[in-house]
Amino acid sequence: MHFAQHSEHYRTCVSDIFRWAKVRSVLTALLGALIWVAGAAHGGADSIETGSLETGSIEAGSIQNGAFELEIVAPGNYVHYGTHDDRSRQNLGDQANIGFIVGERCVLVFDGGGSLPVGRALLNALREVTDKPICYVVISHVHPDHIFGVAALTADDPVIIGHENLPRQLAARGKFYREALERDLGELAAGSDIVMPTKTVAAGETITVDIGDREIDIRAWPPAHTDHDVSIFDRSTSTLWLADLLFVEHTPVLDSNITGFLAVMQTLRGTEARHYVPGHGRSSAAWPAVLDAQQRYFEVILKETRRAIRENVRLMDAVNQIGLSEADQWVNFETYHRRNVTTAYTELEWE
Ligand SMILES: [Zn+2]
Domains of the chain with bracketed CATH: 2-287 (3.60.15.10), 293-351 (no CATH)
Measured over the CA atoms of residue 98, residue 81, residue 40 and residue 48, the dihedral's sign is negative
Quote the DSSP letter at residue 331: B
Distance 248 CA to ligand 1 centre (A): 13
Distance 226 CA to ligand 1 centre (A): 7
Pairing of strands 2-5, 10-13: antiparallel
Distance 244 CA to ligand 1 centre (A): 5
Distance 122 CA to ligand 1 centre (A): 19
Distance of CA 110 to the CA centre of its chain: 8
Distance 329 CA to ligand 1 centre (A): 19
Distance 76 CA to ligand 1 centre (A): 25
In angstroms, the CA 122 to CA 137 distance is 12
Distance 97 CA to ligand 1 centre (A): 11
Mean pLDDT in order along the chain per 10 residues (351 residues):
36 36 32 35 27 26 62 98 97 98 98 98 97 98 98 98 98 98 98 98 98 98 98 98 98 98 98 98 97 98 98 97 98 97 97 88
Distance 205 CA to ligand 1 centre (A): 20
Distance 225 CA to ligand 1 centre (A): 7
In angstroms, the CA 88 to CA 114 distance is 11
Pairing of strands 199-201, 159-163: parallel
* pLDDT (0 to 100) of residue 29: 36
Distance 169 CA to ligand 1 centre (A): 12
The residue type of 216 is I
* pLDDT (0 to 100) of residue 39: 30
* pLDDT (0 to 100) of residue 62: 44
Cβ-based neighbour number of residue 37 at 10 Å: 23
* pLDDT (0 to 100) of residue 67: 72
Distance 142 CA to ligand 1 centre (A): 7
* pLDDT (0 to 100) of residue 4: 35
Distance 183 CA to ligand 1 centre (A): 20
What is the phi-psi region of residue 323: left when phi exceeds 0, alpha when psi lies from -120 to 50, beta otherwise? left
Nearby residues of 342 by Cβ (< 8 Å), 6 or more positions away:
315, 319
Distance 93 CA to ligand 1 centre (A): 13
Distance 257 CA to ligand 1 centre (A): 13
User: Using CB atoms within 10 A of its CB, is residue 201 exposed (0-12), middle (13-18) or buried (19+)?
Assistant: buried
